[in-house]
Amino acid sequence: MTHFAIETKDLSRIYKIRGNKKEKQIRKELVALENVTLTVERGELFGLLGPNGAGKTTLIKILTTLLAPTSGWARVAGYDVIQHPNLVRPRINMVSGGESSGYGLLTVRENLWMFSQFYGMPSKEANQRIVELLKMVGLEDRIHTKSSDLSTGLRQKMNIVRGFLTDPEVLFLDEPTLGLDVGAARDVRKLIRSWLEADKSRTLLLTTHYMVEAEELCDRVAIINKGRVLACDTPANLKRNLQRDAIFEIETSPLNGLTPQLLQNQPEVRKAALTDIEGGARLELILQEEAALASVINILTQKNVKVRRLTKREPTLEDVFMDLVGQKMEDVEKEEAPHAG
Amino acid sequence: MNRSETTRSFTMATWLGWQVESNWTDPFLFAVYVIIKPLASAAILVVMYSIITGGAYNSPLFPYIYLGNAFYTYVGAVMAGVSWAVIDDREHYKTLKYMYIAPINIPFYWLGRGVSRFLIGTVAVIVILTAGVLFLNVPLDLTQVNWGLFFVSLVIGVTMLAMMGLILASITLMVAHHFFLIGEAVAGALYLFSGAIFPLEVLPAWLRPVGYAMPITYWLELMRRSLIGDVAQAFPTLAQYSNLQLLGILLGLTVVFAIVSVFTFRWCDHRARELGLIDRVSNY
Ligand SMILES: Nc1ncnc2c1ncn2[C@@H]1O[C@H](COP(=O)(O)OP(=O)(O)O)[C@@H](O)[C@H]1O
Ligand SMILES: [Mg+2]
């Protein structure tokens, strides 16, 4: 048996989209994943980081046997997801955040117990584990509540418990903290850590578009945009490449028509991004060297833009993303929003 | 096939199906649903019959229709019961994808989900038959019933209906939400083609083959014959077949439908996975 928990080779997925009634003949193709080649070792907490529409969910669906790839192959827990889905399924589990699935007419305990039975767990052991896990996420007082009476956040916690309940070899969490409040998200991250610590052969793949979550939680992170994996390494290594560079945040008065492109035209400015803030703008700059700051300030002065605050900071995964894609992640999402399905 | 996998798929699905089906806040309403609804539909048929025939309850045609209609309850109950789970899980509870990736046998899971409707259907059939004997002179004499034939036919027939339910469930996997009545719709359409309330001879000649290809036709005839032997004469074409011959035809067709259901499931499962339909929720 291979020591990889997940292995993919040139995995691609194309969605064929039928036009609406008027344009029935027009068939568009959308490349959701393109030649994704990844390996995840047993015991790893692996993160897929990317904006909405990057293809994260599509990849998870393929790995969990819900969706067939258009080309390429993938193995999970040592078995090919297309050839042997029946050998993959007993070894995995999956939870997607941001949706409230479950049988509303069953209690929290019944919902969880039923799934444990579908996985063939001994009933008594399952009930003990349900109580244990509910305690860990602070849901034990709701064990006998009908799940339809839970708030969406608590329902999501219940579903996350469902994923851990069956002790899979590989657990997939698709945006587990999406829509959760700060406290609930912390509970979930705590659960993730302690589950992985309890058994070093357990593997967890999660997707997120929260940079901080990927940074603090994951052993390794793959940055994914428009269906392609742009980089894959530990958060520290990903940031290391930027360490030589100087990263500045400048808060200014209104920009008077100055664009990030204009700044990026400067040879020493590697990347520039702009956020509007009250009464002005915030520029985030990745400079090849600190000395380049002078020319940036020069341009600002020429355009009559005042500098209100200037900070230098250590690189974050956000900067790594900007460096790879040329845009901040939230700007990519704003652009995608009108087309996203 | 892993036996314990199929067993737990079926039994847990049965448990879940019962929870879903009996989820009536008011037990009285549940009783109304189980008892009054089937009685009402039988009553409509009886009224229509009496208007058309001028109240000829002693004609063999009456028990023929009454029994055919009573047992037809199973057709809707089992077919819709099995196939409804797909829509319910995908659209309503949003759990289909989690069931799908669980180590279960999906066809056995669907069959299990249909059990509760089958049981409720059984209550309905008993209620209708009892009402018929008590109030409408349906000549059902429990000492004259061919119980062996009855139970063998019932078991094969329900298996056959379950296989048809599986075919529908597989197709449902592929189609959108607005086909949510597919089970009832197919049951409704077949009502006219399976000799439930009139012999196939009444149909135009070019439509009869549909009825003769349907195992339901032979099954209903067997149910009638086992309960009231001489009703068989009301169905001229099938009268030339012996009970054993009918049973053989029913069994043969059931095997055919079982094989078709396996291949339909495999194909639909494969296509649904290719097209990404397992977790698709229609945006209504
Ligand atoms: N069933 C589908 N049919 C057509 N396009 C889809 C379907 N599912 C996802 N997409 C498209 O594929 C791309 C990737 O989607 P997804 O994998 O959900 O991204 P993410 O999870 O990273 O937000 C998006 O552009 C999305 O609109
Ligand atoms: Mg997603």
Phi, psi of A38, rounded to the nearest 5 degrees: -145, 150
A184 half-sphere exposure, CB direction, 13 A CA radius:
19
Tokens linked to B224: 């009638």
- Residues of chain B that touch chain A, judged by Cβ-Cβ distance less than 8 Å: 4-5, 8-9, 12, 15-16, 19-20, 23, 93-95, 97-104, 273-274, 276, 278-279
Mean predicted lDDT score pLDDT of chain A: 92
Each domain of chain B, given as residue ranges in start order, spans: 3-275
| Contact: B101, A92; criterion CB under 8 Å | yes
Q: For residues B37 and B124, is the Cβ–Cβ distance under 8 A?
A: yes
Residue appearing with tokens 């049988």:
A103
Angstrom distance (rounded) from CA A112 to CA A127: 9
Tokens linked to B152: 């063998």
ipTM: 0.90
Starting at the edge strand that comes first in sequence, how are the strands of the sheet with A4-18 ordered?
A27-41, A4-18, A71-76, A79-80
- Asked whether the CA dihedral B63, B65, B66, B68 is positive or negative, the reply is positive
Angstrom distance (rounded) from CA B136 to CA A305: 95
Name the amino acid, one letter, at B141: D
Express each pLDDT in A23-69 by its tens digit.
556 678 999 999 999 999 999 999 999 999 999 999 999 999 999 99
Q: Cα dist. B206→A118, B193, B202, B212, B221 in Å? A: 48, 12, 11, 11, 21
Residue appearing with tokens 């290809």:
B213
Angstrom distance (rounded) from CA B96 to CA A194: 29
Q: For residues B272 and B176, is the Cβ–Cβ distance under 8 A?
A: no
Confidence of residue B197 (pLDDT cuts 50, 70, 90): confident
Question: Which of the ligands is closest to the CA of residue A332?
Answer: 1
Asked whether residue A338 carries a pLDDT value surpassing 60, the answer given is: no
State whether the beta carbon of A30 lies less than 6 angstroms from ligand 1: yes
Domains and CATH numbers, chain A: 4-239 (3.40.50.300), 241-339 (3.30.70)
What is the arithmetic mean of pLDDT over B225-237? 77
Express each pLDDT in A142-193 by its tens digit.
999 999 999 999 999 999 999 999 999 999 999 999 989 999 999 999 999 9
Residue with CA at minimum distance from ligand 1 atom 18: A57
CA A22 to chain centre: 36
What is the arithmetic mean of pLDDT over B268-284? 84
Express each pLDDT in A90-127 by its tens digit.
999 999 998 889 999 999 999 999 999 999 999 999 99
- Asked whether the CA dihedral A100, A103, A106, A109 is positive or negative, the reply is negative
Q: What is the pLDDT of residue A90?
A: 97
How big, in percent rounded to 5, are the helix, strand and coil portions of chain B?
Answer: 80, 0, 20
* Min Cα–Cα distance to chain B from A7, Å: 19
Confidence of residue A245 (pLDDT cuts 50, 70, 90): confident
Beta bridge partners of A276: A281
Angstrom distance (rounded) from CA A48 to CA A205: 8
pLDDT: which is higher, A258 or A228? A228
Where does chain A show beta strands of DSSP type E? Answer: 4-18, 27-41, 45-49, 71-76, 79-80, 92-96, 170-174, 203-208, 220-225, 228-233, 246-252, 269-277, 280-287, 307-313
| Contact: B12, A114; criterion CB under 8 Å | yes
Task: Among A199-203, A260-264, A311-315, name the most confident range.
Answer: A199-203
Those residues with Cβ within 8 angstroms of residue A228's Cβ, 6 or more apart along the chain or in another chain: A34, A35, A36
Name the amino acid, one letter, at B120: I
Angstrom distance (rounded) from CA B49 to CA B61: 10
Q: What is the pLDDT of residue A72?
A: 98
Angstrom distance (rounded) from CA B101 to CA B52: 55
Phi, psi of A96, rounded to the nearest 5 degrees: -105, 135
Ligand 1 atom showing the smallest separation from residue A17 Cα: 4
* Of A104, A200, A117, residue with least CA distance to A162: A117
What is the arithmetic mean of pLDDT over A262-274? 88
Those residues with Cβ within 8 angstroms of residue B176's Cβ, 6 or more apart along the chain or in another chain: B282
Portion of chain B with pLDDT greater than 70, in percent:
94
Angstrom distance (rounded) from CA A17 to CA A28: 5
Collapsing DSSP states into helix, strand and coil, what is residue A254?
Answer: coil
β-strands A170-174, A203-208 pairing: parallel
| Contact: B95, A101; criterion CB under 8 Å | yes
Phi, psi of A247, rounded to the nearest 5 degrees: -115, 125
Residue appearing with tokens 């109304």:
B32
What is the arithmetic mean of pLDDT over B73-88? 91
Q: What is the pLDDT of residue A340?
A: 43
> In A, which residues are within 8 Å of B23 by CB distance?
105
DSSP assignment letter at A306 = P
Nearest-CB residue to A67 (from B5, B16, B273):
B273
What is the arithmetic mean of pLDDT over A261-281? 88
Confidence of residue B284 (pLDDT cuts 50, 70, 90): very low
Nearest-CB residue to B103 (from A61, A68, A119):
A119
* Min Cα–Cα distance to chain A from B261, Å: 20
pTM for the structure as a whole: 0.91
Tokens linked to B214: 């349907």
Q: What is the pLDDT of residue A202?
A: 97
* Of B3, B98, B70, B17, residue with least CA distance to B224: B70
What b/e string do you get for A62-90 counting C-beta neighbours within 10 Å, with b at 16 or more? bbbbbbbbbebebbbbbbebbeebeebbb
